[in-house]
Chains A and B, each alone.
Chain A
Amino acid sequence: MIEFHNVTKRFEGGYEALSNVSLKLDEGHMAFITGHSGAGKSTLLKIIALIEKPTRGQALLNRVNLNTMPRRRVPYIRRNIGIIFQDHQLLFDRNVFDNVSLPLHIQGYRPQEIAKRTRAALDKVGLLHKEKSLPITLSGGEQQRVGIARAVVHKPMLLLADEPTGNLDPELSREIMQIFVDFNQVGVTVLVASHDLDLIDDLDKPRITLNRGKLILNDLEDIAQEADGGWQ
């Protein structure tokens, strides 16, 4: 599903957030990205979500080259992805229901279908009783769960989560990670960036570790050699 071949991302100013990263995550699998703060975890996820473009190397999603993706096709690619952001990215001028149903509106679902799916997603994260609340009135963990509901409401093939348990207590963190595992069990490919090592250890899933943009540990199928010299 996701393939990186010698991907380097250099930001303006010359800082290399990712250096020569090669990895492969198959469809239906789940993995964690770990690493210190500033290691490049968010940058890696942003390349998959077409928010950033690699400076060098190739990033593929479902065998489609993301480097050369024309602008007008970007929205349609993103519709297959559910993204949970490090900073929830909720809209504070509308209630929980309207936040969660936004992807369905964008994709042109009918109102009855929107209501049905939105309530199902809210139920999944245990927030059905808060559908009329404004996000500002919710706790940090509840806001995070609204973000998760919005990311899964349109049943994406791929779920990207950036520090989904950021400031949550261990109990809630465990619950949220369990939600991701549940999604993975029904076939969704899941990639989670997190530095909550204790929690990751418990879950027994493959891990990718970044250090200053370099891949220092890769539990996934190693494609670095095979790509040697071939990809540039």
Chain B
Amino acid sequence: MAGSNIRRKKLATSNRISAYLLHHLQSLMFSLRKIYAAPATTIMTVAVIGITLSLPGGFYLFLKNIDAISGDFRSSSQISLFLDLELSEKQARALDKKISKMELVDSTRFISRDKSLEEFRQDSGFGKSIDTLSSNPLPHTIIVEPGEADTFAVRNLLNSLQAMPEVKIAKLDTEWLERLYTIIEIARRSVVIITVLFSCAVLLIIGNTIRLDIQNRYQEIIVTKLIGATDAFIRRPFLYGGVWYGLLGGIISWLIVEIGYLAISGPLGRLNLLYKSDMNLITFSFHDFIILITSSTLLGLAGSWIAVARHLNQIEPT
């Protein structure tokens, strides 16, 4: 007797759970059907969300590309050593060998005075006028590749190289790099601000759409409350509606950004051809895509939650 009671209770609970899941599924399908039934409204809302989110998305991608390019620069920070003019080529080459064996040094490249002049003659286009010079004004040069990209280590290396008597000038051109980093940092913070602002905009858009939706279904809410629907039951289809708006808006914003980058990649290819460079545009990674979609979906849920919390409780039958 007791056993059968317990069994019955268990059955009732599992029934209840499956009924609960069933209602979630029904709410999901219901909100989907509503989207399908009113495509114009849905498309407008979703498009606005998509466009709004594409701005922070695009900006983020831009930053990611700049970051990648600057990363290339970072790893190629070189030190140029201009040697004393009195130094013979033999002495200079000996110094080059010595430096290349130094601890913090990855590799070195020696450019003799004659070679420097030759390169300058070719690159500058001043060939004729250089020929009139009585002596070569250029020193022997050693290009040093530091072993580590770490700024501190590179600075140390620079100082010890500068201290060598044979070295007239040791030059590390980091100023513009630091400037670039500052600009990137500014851009990074701008992305954060833009993302926050535009997320708020999406929250408001979705909140407002759901609010209108609630108003349109005023009668239905009243009737379901009168026959014993819980707040959670009434809330559910609206929350799913917000989730759909967020999800679809996220996908649209992703498409917009991808298409935008496709449009940019054409001219970039030509640029690469011209400069024999090898710049590749980075688009959203799978990871980025998941983050974008998840956050837009969560924004949809949050927006509809706000609308529901503010407006659903106010509707009471009289």
Chain A residues in the interface with B (C-beta under 8 A): 49, 51-52, 72, 75-79, 81, 83, 85, 89-91, 93, 102-103, 105-111, 150
B284 within 8 A of A: no
Q: How far is the CA of A139 from the CA of B298 in the complex (A)?
A: 46
Contact A106 B226 (CB under 8 A): no
Which residues of B from 184 to 243 have beta carbons under 8 Å from A? 219-220, 222-231, 233
Partner among B22, B222, B229, B318 whose Cβ is within 8 Å of the Cβ of A75: B229
Partner among A72, A78, A93 whose Cβ is within 8 Å of the Cβ of B227: A78
B3 within 8 A of A: no
Partner among A91, A106, A108 whose Cβ is within 8 Å of the Cβ of B22: A108
B23 within 8 A of A: yes
Chain B residues in the interface with A (C-beta under 8 A): 15-16, 18-20, 22-23, 26, 219-220, 222-231, 233, 317-318
Q: How far is the CA of A150 from the CA of B224 in the complex (A)?
A: 11
Determine the chain A residues whose CB is within 8 A of the CB of B224 once the complex forms.
102, 106
Contact A72 B231 (CB under 8 A): yes
**Shortest distance from the beta carbon of A111 to any chain B beta carbon, whole Å:** 8
**Shortest distance from the beta carbon of A149 to any chain B beta carbon, whole Å:** 12
Contact A108 B23 (CB under 8 A): yes
Determine the chain B residues whose CB is within 8 A of the CB of A79 once the complex forms.
227-228
Contact A83 B223 (CB under 8 A): no
Determine the chain A residues whose CB is within 8 A of the CB of B23 once the complex forms.
105, 108
23 contacts between A and B (CB under 8 A): A51-B317, A51-B318, A75-B225, A75-B231, A75-B233, A76-B228, A81-B228, A83-B227, A85-B226, A90-B223, A91-B219, A102-B227, A105-B26, A106-B229, A106-B230, A106-B233, A107-B228, A108-B16, A108-B19, A108-B22, A110-B18, A111-B22, A150-B227
Q: How far is the CA of A182 from the CA of B318 in the complex (A)?
A: 29
**Shortest distance from the beta carbon of B215 to any chain A beta carbon, whole Å:** 15
Q: How far is the CA of A106 from the CA of B23 in the complex (A)?
A: 9
Given A89-B223, A91-B219, A106-B233, A78 contacting B16 (CB threshold 8 A): no
